[in-house]
A and B are shown apart, each in its own frame.
Chain A
Amino acid sequence: QKEVEQDPGPLSVPEGAIVSLNCTYSNSAFQYFMWYRQYSRKGPELLMYTYSSGNKEDGRFTAQVDKSSKYISLFIRDSQPSDSATYLCACNSGGYQKVTFGIGTKLQVIP
């Protein structure tokens, strides 16, 4: 079983739509949950991280973690064509422990 599973997509939505991106994980030791955005042939860009279960909002982005079901979500409101990228979920047990990534979901926002 993969530690972090993510549907690779692609996911196409019209501009202005609410986007829901999801991951599941298997390792109960994970405490921190991150979302990165990656444009083609570029490095991952940290969008936000969440500790344990709960929600965190940053502008149009909301991250949600449910540790009981080992389910991670990222919601993007009022999606823009500039949001078109691959979104990577990632998990870590804390401290300087390694970060484990999902394969990423490719998102295309159509004008």
Chain B
Amino acid sequence: EPEVTQTPSHQVTQMGQEVILRCVPISNHLYFYWYRQILGQKVEFLVSFYNNEISEKSEIFDDQFSVERPDGSNFTLKIRSTKLEDSAMYFCASSVGTGAYEQYFGPGTRLTVT
């Protein structure tokens, strides 16, 4: 069964460093999403992406964040200058059509900022 994959599973970085989180969505999916989950808190929407453009972003997704689909398979989230409060699980998700209600999540990348 096709699945969303994410790398790395765990990333440790120092405050102020740039990180890139990588995702490979399900191959025939067209819509891509990033969410984060701070430990003990709810899953929060960051951004949705379609046709090489951001479709929607939350107030969390400020200028420090960017997304890119550099080739036909990868979808990346970049955090330019990490802060302690960026420590969280970051989940990539994808959906085949316009139905965000039927999106499938990857296993997540645990980001620890020290």
Contacts and interface: CB of A to CB of B under 8 A. Distances in A.
Interface string A19-49: 0000000000000111010000111111001
B45 A49 contact: no
Contacts of A103: 41-42
Interface string A73-97: 0000000000000001010101111
Given A34-B101, A104-B42, A43 B55 contact: no
A100 B45 contact: yes
Contact of A43 (B48, B95, B102, B106): B106
Contacts of A101: 42-44
Sorting the interface of chain B by its residue count into under 10, 10 to 19, 20 to 34 or 35 or more gives 20 to 34
B45 A96 contact: no
Interface string B22-55: 0000000001010000000111110010100001
A46 B102 contact: yes
B108 A42 contact: yes
Nearest to A6: B42
Contacts of B102: 46, 49
A17 interface: no
Nearest to A97: B100
Interface residues of A, number: 26
Residue in A41, A43, A94, A102 with the greatest tally of chain B CB atoms within 10 Å: A43
A98 interface: yes
Given A101-B42, A103-B42, A104-B42, A96 B105 contact: no
A96 B31 contact: yes
20 contacts: A32-B99, A32-B100, A34-B101, A41-B89, A41-B108, A42-B108, A43-B106, A43-B107, A43-B108, A46-B102, A88-B43, A92-B100, A95-B99, A95-B100, A96-B31, A96-B50, A98-B56, A99-B33, A99-B101, A101-B42
Given A33-B101, A96-B31, 5 more contacts: A32-B101, A41-B110, A43-B4, A44-B43, A101-B42
Interface of B: 4, 31, 33, 41-45, 48, 50, 55-56, 58, 89, 91, 95, 98-108, 110
